Amino acid sequence: MFQNLPLFPAQASGFAGQVDALYFFLIAVSAFFSLLIALLIVVFAIRYRRRSPDEVGAGITGSLQLELLWTIVPLGITMVMFLWGAWVFFTLNRAPRAAMEIYVVGKQWMWKVQHPDGQREINELHVPVGRPVKLLMGTEDVIHSFFIPAFRTKFDVVPGKLTTLWFEATKPGRYHLFCAEYCGTKHSAMIGWVEVMEPAAFQAWLSGGAGEGSLASRGERLFQDLACHTCHMPDSQGRGPVLDGLFGKPVKLQDGRTVVADESYLRESIVNPQGKIVAGYQPLMPTFQGLISEEGVLQLIAYIKTLGPKAAPGPSANEPPPPAKQGTP
Amino acid sequence: MSDAQFVPSPATHAHHPAQAHHFDSLEQQQEASTLGMWVFLVNEIMFFGGLFMAYLVYRTWYPDAFAAGSSHLNIPLGATNTAVLIISSLTMALAVHAAQTSWRRGQIVFIILTIALGTTFLVIKAFEYADKFTHHLVPGPHFQWPDEKLRAPVEIFYSLYFALTGLHALHMVIGIGIMLWLLWMAWRGRFDAEYYSPVEVSGLYWHFVDIVWIFLFPLLYLIGAHVRHV
Amino acid sequence: MSDHTIPTRIYYMVFGALIVLTAFTVWVAYLDLGFANTAVAMGIAVTKATLVVLYFMHVRYGSRLTWVVVASGFVWLGILFALGLSDYLSRGWLPQPGVPRI
Amino acid sequence: MHTIATHTRNYINAEYGVMSWLLTRDHKRIALLYLGSVTTFFALGGLFAVAIRLELLTPAGDLVQSETYNKLFTMHGVIMVFFFLIPAIPAVLGNFLVPIMIGAKDLAFPKLNLLSWYIFMIGASFALWAVVNGGVDTGWTFYTPYSSVVSNTQVIAAAVGIFITGFSSILTGLNFIVTIHRMRAPGMTWFRMPLFIWSHYATSLIMVLGTPVIAITVLLVFAERALKLCIFDASCGGDPVLFQHLFWFYSHPAVYIMILPAMGVISELVAAGARKNVFGYSFVAFASLAIAVLGFLVWGHHMFVSSQSVYAGMIFSILSFLVAIPSAVKVFNWTATLYKGSVSWQTPMLYAYGFIGLFAIGGLTGLFLATLGLDVHVHDTYFIVAHFHYVMVGGTIMAYLGGLHYWWPKISGRLYPEGWAKFGALIVFVGFNLTFFPQFIVGYLGMPRRYHAYPEEFQVLNVMSSAGASILGVGYLIPFVYFIWSMRYGPKAGPNPWGAKGLEWTIDSPPITENFVDTPVVTEGAYAYTHERMDVV
Ligand code: HEA
Ligand code: HEA
Ligand code: CUA
Ligand SMILES: [Cu+2]
């Protein structure tokens, strides 16, 4: 039993090292202060122990210098922690442009994964080593959280939203995937594996069984089935705006704001079209809330992203992967 | 305190019958009650504050739905109720004044007026609620809204409407209960220029409930006024 | 305790102001002023509330402690709103690589 | 103590009969009512903890069903937080001591004080009803939409229970604030008040300003569940994250409701244990206020990966570091107080040493969590569980036990057995560390919290933790037994067994009903053990 006692998690992503460095810094600071305080307490308690029943302590009331010292020094140290931590956090929150995209849906109690080329998996995620991967995530019911300890990252999936998470795996292997946000009875069974593969093996795996066509093509079918095309036509004849080339572009809204048409915006436009009305259009579009599954929404998004002039940033889903690029700006 | 001295209680003068034994003086007791009520009202601000926060978020998200939802509220009734509450605040203030000037008849009259106005408010509110029921504007499975596209956010509006006005009405009911007790005490001639803090403190509560309504009225009723003619 | 007995005349004046402000806020709500509708409505509501607090609730003549207590209520409400909105208003601000800034 | 007359009458034997307790308005008797209630809840919460630890002995979820496990940790958390730890120090020690320490006969509103206890018990009855009728499984955090539309357990009863109990907390806070402002004895200026009073004042501010927000929040969950309103539900366009904002707006300050009174206790223990002025008295006093105020500005640090905006995350992170500074100031001042003191090794001091060390570790690991990039990894893992048990169990419960030992002679009039007490303190300290230290490691390894079953490689650390918990349980049982024993057989304590300063030690043990025969007049600061003045070096 005791040979089986890991004390430190595997490092398998680009920022595992960064997070661990931060961790060791905090451990060092904590160890220093805890030991200092413990030591002082023990020393004082022994050195100045009470020797007679009515002995009293010295008439010391305080010292401004010391107060300043132990206010400013911790303040300085914590500001280092803040800046360093914030910097790592930004890295964690900004997926590089070249990231390969995979769609994830959480539901009680499983993770459903769809690759752009059409592979689907449940409670497993296959990714290539050495390529940034961006997960576009949603949930069908309650909040869950996609957590891969070996990559030192996690992010919640939240009803009504599209959230993202990215990483770049650095070591082939099989790593735990957990649901970290409590989500009901089988929360602890909402687990799986992340399989990091060599690029060639990954390509082989990808071409393994795409059966139902690519994600975008399924989105396209939905686009027809839900009659989106009756309003959104490739030319500006429809009642709704043209969606071709929309992704990644700034959109002027009726209330004067401008937003970028990213995935969250697309999701909101489909599920809750009243939230942001495009300038120059009537709020005609019905809500599709409850009519499309979360997976369907992601398929539609994948489809819209492939539409029209290749102005969208990031490779389109069907292109072969470009060589891994340094993602962090 | 090794050299703390103990002095006998300073006062030998007769205590007011309303003074509790753990206070040194009636004045200390009255100051304590007033401060206590103010602290309680601060707590009340935060209690409604949580709801106002929700209102603020959803109002920024769904301005149109809120305006649309609001346009189904009855402005004349809401305005009347605002006026009713303001008058009741006046009568309450006058009741406190009557207590401060040891005018028993005035206390009784103004407290009765306050109760009557508070009840009027609740009756009008009840009519409004009844109207919402018949028009299926109560959130839940029977909620209906003609414009399907706005249904969901309008339901949020009505959820907040009922939560806010419902809690406000609950405060009114409690306030009326307190007023009835005050009436009983005033009737028995308990309040005079020397001892009137129950009236004063209840007055603070009553005015606070009025203030909440002063905000609810524009936030709920008036935001849709200028769109309903479009 | 405010030993201060406020003359009833002041109560009636405040009352008059409150009624006038109520009428005004209803009237102005029917005009389409865009964003200003909300600003005006809230401005009037704050004025009315201030009048009630200062005169009906005697804070005008109250002790400093009363002022502090009243103020703390509104400051804390401000904390809830401000830090809450710090999330809601800045969502989606984070520039993403490759996405145009606006 | 020439001024003390020996009264045979005291608050305990002033009246007899159950009704004399149930209708009492004496703050000291009400404190004992609370003592009985919160001890019961602690035992109940502890039983749930035992069940949790038994289940986690093996990786497979083999002892109880996952539904049951989820209810166990939820009810453990709810009971420990709302029905034990929040009331523990303020409602027991605070109730007993606040009036005495400032030289008052009672709290400003004695009837309200009794009412608070009844409200507490009514709220607790709802929670217990929920426990008995199937339990709740939402986690103590009640996140929507799970709690509002999905879970099919007794969420409504638990929410109502928490709502009601909240008012007990609010009224206690209100009572303390008014008492401290208006009831101080002649000469008891603000800067002569014991630090226990300062910290209770700060705690009361949080109770009054924060608790109403949790009340309205659980009320909204109730409304969404029972009345089908739409507030947080994403299917009508609501935002589940809004619930988290409102929940943590209270629940982060609530952790300071739990720690501030404990810090007050430690200040008293350290001063009496070293027979010295608390080093930097005014810094410690203001640190309490600073924690109370800044504590309201950091709630979003529980939501770094909740899809809250990145910028809000940064604001909450930097503010979280700021709120750690006053805690650091306090820790250093307590340590410095021992310097050149006349330092005691009696049980209350042992608990105080334990507190300082464990709170330092718990607080410092709080910094790990406030660090944005690091929290992403450890959020919702056992690292968090370890962090908060270090501050709540290693911090607050240590202080609570230390305070109970220190004031037990005053409360009961009897001395507890010192040898057993030292032994108990040692067991608690050892058991505690064995229980919760391994959880830091298993947390960083990635074991998520609220897991009924877990991967095998985490087993060894979990077994250590469970073993520690059984030692800890024994450690808690020991004081429980000898406190009860001492009420009958303990030697009489006398007014001031510790040779300590403070108004509570100038009166009888146990005190008479209105505490003081005559109102005391205060002429010096709180910890005037000596009148010599001396510099640090
Ligand atoms: C008594 C209760 C208590 C106390 C006092 C604290 C104190 C602190 N807590 Fe903790 N916390 C909890 C109870 C408490 N916490 C609970 C219950 C949870 C989990 C809730 C849940 O999800 O269920 C939690 C979770 C929690 C999180 C969220 C983690 C997550 O879910 O991802 C964070 C993040 O910032 C945090 C931070 C802090 C900080 C910075 C402090 C600071 O106040 C600590 C300050 C103290 C010190 C810093 C130590 C003393 C100082 C020194 C020894 C000197 C050296 C100092 C420096 C160099 C600065 N806590
Ligand atoms: C004050 C708060 C408090 C206290 C004291 C404790 C005490 C303990 N807690 Fe708890 N804990 C929480 C607050 C607290 N906890 C919270 C808020 C959570 C989060 C819940 C959630 O996720 O929603 C949590 C979660 C939590 C977990 C994580 C569960 C999970 O995520 O799956 C674990 C696991 O080990 C645990 C263990 C323990 C243990 C071993 C103790 C031990 O210290 C207990 C020791 C006590 C005993 C063993 C009882 C001794 C018995 C007596 C003294 C009885 C004698 C008296 C009579 C007979 C009348 N706790
Ligand atoms: Cu899904 Cu936990
Ligand atoms: Cu916190």
Q: What is the pLDDT of residues B41-56, one digit of tens each?
A: 999 999 999 999 999 9
- Can you give the pLDDT at residue A276? 78
Tens-place pLDDT, residues B154-178 = 999 999 999 999 999 999 999 999 9
The answer to whether the pTM exceeds 0.95 is no
More confident residue, B93 or A96: B93
- Partner-chain residue, chosen from D181, D209, D297, that has the shortest CB–CB distance to C83: D297
More confident residue, A280 or D320: D320
CA angle B194, B200, B201 (to 5 degrees): 120
- Can you give the pLDDT at residue A308? 66
User: Do the Cβ atoms of C92 and D311 come within 8 Å?
Assistant: no
Residues in chain D: 537
Distance D48 CA to ligand 3 centre (A): 22
Cα–Cα distance for residue pair D279/D295, rounded to 1 Å: 24
User: Residue of the nearest CA to atom 58 in ligand 2?
Assistant: D43
Tens-place pLDDT, residues D70-117 = 999 999 999 999 999 999 999 999 999 999 999 999 999 999 999 999
- Can you give the pLDDT at residue D237? 85
Contact between D133 and D154 (Cβ < 8 Å): yes
Q: Which two tokens stand for residue A12?
A: 């398998």
User: Do the Cβ atoms of B61 and A275 come within 8 Å?
Assistant: yes
Q: How near does any CA of chain D get to the CA of C80, in Å?
A: 7
pLDDT at A110 over 80: yes
Interface-testing mutation among D209, D248, D299, with chain C (most C C-beta atoms within 10 A):
D209
Q: Which two tokens stand for residue D63?
A: 């002892």
Q: Which residues of D touch C86 (CB under 8 A)?
A: 309, 311-312, 315
Contact between A23 and D440 (Cβ < 8 Å): no
Residues in chain B: 230
Which of A146, A187, A190, A194 has its CA nearest to residue A170?
Answer: A194
User: Do the Cβ atoms of D237 and A272 come within 8 Å?
Assistant: yes
Give the three-class secondary structure for B173.
Answer: helix
- Can you give the pLDDT at residue D409? 96
User: Residue of the nearest CA to atom 58 in ligand 1?
Assistant: A74
Pick the ligand that lies closest to the CA of residue D142.
2
Pick the ligand that lies closest to the CA of residue D43.
2
Tens-place pLDDT, residues A35-76 = 999 999 999 999 999 999 888 988 888 889 999 999 999 999
User: Do the Cβ atoms of A259 and C94 come within 8 Å?
Assistant: no
More confident residue, D214 or A280: D214
CB atoms within 10 A of CB D468: 21
What is the Rg, in whole angstroms, of the alpha carbon atoms belonging to chain D?
23
Give the DSSP letter string of D493-534: --S-TT---SGGGGS-SSPBTTB-SS-EE--S-TT-S-S--B
Atom index in ligand 1 nearest the CA of residue D392 equals 1
DSSP A228: G
Binning pLDDT at 50, 70 and 90, where does residue A291 land?
confident
Question: CA distances (Å), C77 to each of B48, C85, D183, D215, in order?
Answer: 9, 12, 29, 15
User: Do the Cβ atoms of A163 and D307 come within 8 Å?
Assistant: yes
User: Residue of the nearest CA to atom 3 in ligand 2?
Assistant: D80
User: Do the Cβ atoms of A184 and D150 come within 8 Å?
Assistant: yes
Burial A157-171 (b: 16+ CB within 10 A, else e): bbbbbbbbbbbbbbe
CB atoms within 10 A of CB C52: 22
Q: What's the ipTM?
A: 0.92
Which of A179, A105, B56 has its CA nearest to residue D305?
Answer: A179
Tens-place pLDDT, residues D303-340 = 999 999 999 999 999 999 999 999 999 999 999 999 99
Which chains neighbour A (Cβ–Cβ under 8 Å, 3 or more pairs)?
B, C, D
Tokens 């602890």 correspond to A188
Q: Which amino acid is at D199?
A: S
User: Ligand 4 being an ion, which residues bring their Cβ within 5 A of it?
Assistant: D 252
Tokens 């753990």 correspond to B22
Distance A52 CA to ligand 1 centre (A): 40
- Can you give the pLDDT at residue A309? 59
- Can you give the pLDDT at residue C100? 53
Residues in chain C: 102
Distance D299 CA to ligand 4 centre (A): 6
Q: Is D77 in the pocket of ligand 2 (CB under 6 A)?
A: yes
pLDDT per residue as tens, chain C (102 positions) = 445 688 899 999 999 999 999 999 999 998 888 778 889 999 999 999 999 999 999 999 888 999 999 999 999 999 999 999 999 998 877 766 655 554
Question: CA distances (Å), D435 to each of D80, D174, D192, D460, D467, in order?
Answer: 17, 37, 40, 12, 7
Share of chain D above pLDDT 70, in %: 98
- Partner-chain residue, chosen from A60, A88, A183, that has the shortest CB–CB distance to D277: A60
User: Residue of the nearest CA to atom 32 in ligand 2?
Assistant: D450
Question: If phi over 0 gives left and psi between -120 and 50 gives alpha, with beta otherwise, what is residue A110?
Answer: beta
Contact between D511 and D11 (Cβ < 8 Å): yes
> Which segments within chain A are labelled E, that is strand?
100-107, 110-114, 120-122, 124-128, 132-139, 144-148, 153-157, 163-168, 173-179, 192-197, 250-252, 258-260
Contact between A134 and A142 (Cβ < 8 Å): no
Binning pLDDT at 50, 70 and 90, where does residue D235 land?
confident
Cα–Cα distance for residue pair A166/A151, rounded to 1 Å: 10
For residue C13, the cross-strand partners are: none
Cα–Cα distance for residue pair B203/B185, rounded to 1 Å: 15
Contact between A70 and A105 (Cβ < 8 Å): no
Report the pLDDT averaged over residues D40-44. Answer: 96
Binning pLDDT at 50, 70 and 90, where does residue D50 land?
very high
User: Residue of the nearest CA to atom 1 in ligand 3?
Assistant: A144
Terminal CA-CA length for chain D: 34
Q: Is A181 in the pocket of ligand 3 (CB under 6 A)?
A: yes
DSSP A287: P
Question: Beta strands B5-6 and A258-260: pairing type?
Answer: unpaired
Distance A111 CA to ligand 4 centre (A): 29
Q: Is D385 in the pocket of ligand 2 (CB under 6 A)?
A: yes
Give the three-class secondary structure for A132.
Answer: strand
- Can you give the pLDDT at residue B7? 44
- My answer on whether omega of the bond before A109 falls inside 30° of 0, hence cis, is yes
Distance D289 CA to ligand 2 centre (A): 29
Least confident of B77-81, B139-143, B184-188: B139-143
Binning pLDDT at 50, 70 and 90, where does residue A238 land?
confident
Q: Is A271 in the pocket of ligand 3 (CB under 6 A)?
A: no
pLDDT at A315 over 50: no
Give the residue, out of D76, D143, D466, D474, with the most ligand 2 atoms within 8 A of its beta carbon, to mutate for a pocket test: D76
Name the average pLDDT for chain A.
85
User: How many Cα atoms within 13 Å fall on the side-chain side of residue D408?
Assistant: 27
Which of A179, A135, A186, A143 has its CA nearest to residue A161?
Answer: A143
Q: Which two tokens stand for residue D459?
A: 């087993």
- Can you give the pLDDT at residue A322? 38
More confident residue, A249 or A150: A150
Report the pLDDT averaged over residues A133-153. Answer: 95
Q: Which residues of D touch B23 (CB under 8 A)?
A: 183
Q: What is the 3-state secondary structure (H, E, C) of D42-105?
A: HHHHHHHHHHHHHHCCCCCCCCCCHHHHHHHHHHHHHHHHHHHHHHHHHHHHHHHHHHHHCCCC
Nearest-CA residue of chain C relative to B52? Answer: C81
Least confident of A143-152, A191-200, A218-227, D2-11: D2-11
pLDDT at A218 over 80: yes
- Can you give the pLDDT at residue A235? 75
Binning pLDDT at 50, 70 and 90, where does residue B205 land?
very high
Q: With 0-12 CB in 10 A as exposed, 13-18 as middle and 19+ as buried, what is D8?
A: exposed
Chain-centroid distance of CA A286 in Å reads 30
Interface-testing mutation among A271, A274, A282, A289, with chain B (most B C-beta atoms within 10 A):
A274
Contact D312/C at CB under 8 A: yes
Which of D516, D527, D506 has its CA nearest to residue D183?
Answer: D516
Q: Which two tokens stand for residue D56?
A: 């986690």
